[in-house]
Amino acid sequence: MTRKAAIVGGGIGGLAAAIHLRDRGWHVEVFERSTALPATGTALGLWPGALRALDTIGVGAAVRDLGRAQTGGAFLRPDGSRIAPIDVSAIERRTGDAVRLLSRPALLGLLGGALDESVVRFDSEVADIGELAGYDAVIAADGLRSRARAALFGPAYRPRYVGATTWRGTVDGEAGPVTETWGEGARFGITPREDGRTNWFACALAPEGQRSPGAEIPLLRKHFGHWHREVRKVIDRMGEDEVLRHDLHYLDPPLPSYVRGRVALIGDAAHAMTPDLGRGACEALVDGVTVARCLAEHPNVTDGLAAYDALRRRPTQRLARTARVVNRMANARRFNRLRDAALRLALAVGGPPD
């Protein structure tokens, strides 16, 4: 008898889980509240572990072909001087794979294209996971403010504001290799993408919920307009209607389990972390493929979900703690020389797992 899975959320992790379960003989339905896959979005860095997950579901080769290999980079100070290089060649020597830069819409397009149109139900919001009682397993990939998480674990496990807001967008033209510039309580990142354009992000300490409609670029100039030339060049290319802004949150406290009954949480629903390691999309991919593999390999759903929790909870929560430490370092207003020295040491010893 064919087993059935409901996936709440048609993002990166949810679609990856759907592909793998479909390939393992499950009947899958994805419930996505948006009306379609997004047409815009900034670049993602896909680490080797995420690429291996994509290989498992047959999309890895297309991602490597379409994506852009990260060939180098550096952490800089606002005057343009170097804090430390980013040695991406070490990752490639260790794993055989380079970090690939690919826009979120392009990745979602590849994942969505691997599924029949009937699998993903757009404009279908699941307000109560109790409505999905007819499925053998439910995978909740419903993001930072997960309703499934709140229903299963209560309001104590919720997003916490880190005290910083972020802006992001894309501008025309290329701006060289990946750089991340650290100032006093502020950062600016520049990343090439597959279509010859440039992604950027900016981060600064700010009250939660603060917005400047129609005037975000003047605010960015106030924060970053006196920084080095490459930052100023990106700001000069921005269009106000293309600037996205959102506050940064992380899940606190960490969940005691990613599973409750026949429901598994993946991605931000399970372990929302600050973006300081650039690993959110990667971990969602690995979550989705892992939970699908565990369900397929265990005839009993309870055993399969327990295996997923055992494999993914500790590593992802460790990454979330590391991201939070980096966030505190990057947002520091004082002792920046010590901070820069600590960053150089951390990069020399070795970054996060692949």
In 3D space, the residue among 297, 312, 226 whose CA is nearest the CA of residue 265 turns out to be 312
Q: How many CA atoms lie within 13 A of 281 on its CB side?
A: 24
- Chunked into runs of 10 residues, the chain (354 residues) has average pLDDT values of 95 98 98 93 91 98 93 92 86 84 95 96 95 96 98 97 96 88 94 89 96 95 97 96 95 98 98 93 98 97 98 97 90 80 71 58
334 occurs within a structural domain: no
Q: Is residue 217 part of a domain?
A: no
Tell me whether residue 240 is in a domain. Answer: no
pLDDT at residue 351, rounded to an integer: 54
In angstroms, what CA-CA distances link 340 with 27, 152, 271, 351?
51, 41, 28, 15
C-alpha distances in Å from residue 341, one per residue of 287, 319, 332, 346: 34, 21, 13, 9
Given the structure tokens 């692949």, which residue do they identify?
354
Angle between helices 280-297 and 48-56 in degrees, nearest 10: 40
Token reading at 126:
């699941």
Does 167 map to a domain? no
Task: Give the pairing of strands 100-103 and 68-69.
Answer: antiparallel
Q: How far is the C-alpha of 268 from the C-alpha of 157, rounded, in Å?
A: 12
Instruction: Using CB atoms within 10 Å of the CB of residue 44, give its burial: 0 to 12 exposed, 13 to 18 middle, 19+ buried.
Output: buried
pLDDT (0 to 100) of residue 352: 52
160 forms beta bridges with 250
What b/e string do you get for 147-168 counting C-beta neighbours within 10 Å, with b at 16 or more? bbbeebbeeebbbeebebbbbb
Structural domain including 129 reads: 4-68+102-159+250-329
Question: What pLDDT does 219 receive?
Answer: 96
Tell me if 30 is assigned to some domain. yes
CATH number of the domain enclosing 133: 3.50.50.60
Sheet with 100-103, edge to edge strand ranges: 43-46, 100-103, 68-69
As separate numbers, helices (DSSP H) first and strands (DSSP E) second, the chain gives: 12, 16
Angle at 347 between CA 346 and CA 351, to 5 degrees: 85
- Determine, yes or no, domain membership for 141: yes
pLDDT at 39: 86
In 117-212, beta strands by DSSP E: 120-121, 137-140, 158-171, 178-182, 186-192, 198-205
Q: Where are the alpha helices (DSSP H) in 154-278?
A: 216-224, 229-237, 268-271
**315 is a domain residue:** yes
**Residue 34 in domain:** yes
Q: Please state the domain count of the chain.
A: 1
Joined tokens for residue 217: 């670029």
3-state SS, residue 76: strand
